[in-house]
Amino acid sequence: SVFSHVGIAVRLPAPFEGLHVVESVEPVGVRLVPFAIWEKWRMPIDAYRVDQFTDAGREVMVRFALRALGCPYASWRQFVRSWGLIGRRIAKTLGLPADSDGKRFFCSELVADALRYAGANLHAAPSRMSPGDVSLLSCLRHVGRVFPK
């Protein structure tokens, strides 16, 4: 994948005021991080905008992400099922669902699930999407790259 991580930027009212990112990371799971912390990592950040939705649709997506706060990170079993060739074949043969646990997320699964919940048409199950897959979704438009100071 061209990207190694994705999150959802949200602007929150008081008392959290400002730009934050909802993300899922190991071993913490889904968390809310002030954007200023992302900037401290000194890595370029590609920004995308959801063009397919109205403001109400974006709000639905953000609500989904915020409700996921505190959910654990996806298990190793999910990674094997999502990304391992043998794991995918076994799951398909046994008729197992693509997602082994809908309350655990890896980063791209969280973003794709939030987009799907808000009405986006996805070309794959959220649990099968990499950060690069998410960046290629037709509902997203690349708006630029942020270079932290």
Say how far apart CA 115 and CA 62 lie, in whole Å. Answer: 9
Give the dihedral sign, CA 48/110/74/83.
negative
Q: Which residues of the chain have pLDDT under 50?
A: 99
3-class SS of residue 100: coil
pLDDT at 15: 82
User: What does the buried/exposed string (b/e) look like for 118-137 if buried means 16 or more CB atoms within 10 Å of the residue's CB?
Assistant: bebebeeebbbbbbebbbeb
pTM: 0.82
| Residue whose tokens read 């060739």 | 85
Taking every pair of Cα atoms in the chain, the longest distance, rounded to a whole number of angstroms, is 50
* pLDDT (tens digit per residue) in 90-119: 556 666 555 455 678 989 999 999 999 999
Q: What token pair was written down for 81?
A: 């099922």
pLDDT at 64: 95
| Residue whose tokens read 């298990």 | 75
Task: Return the half-sphere exposure (C-beta side, CA atoms, 13 A cut-off) of residue 16.
Answer: 13
Residue 60 amino acid letter: V
| Residue whose tokens read 């930027």 | 9
Say how far apart CA 140 and CA 114 lie, in whole Å. Answer: 13
Q: How far does Cα 139 stand from its chain's mean position? A: 14
Say how far apart CA 25 and CA 99 lie, in whole Å. Answer: 17
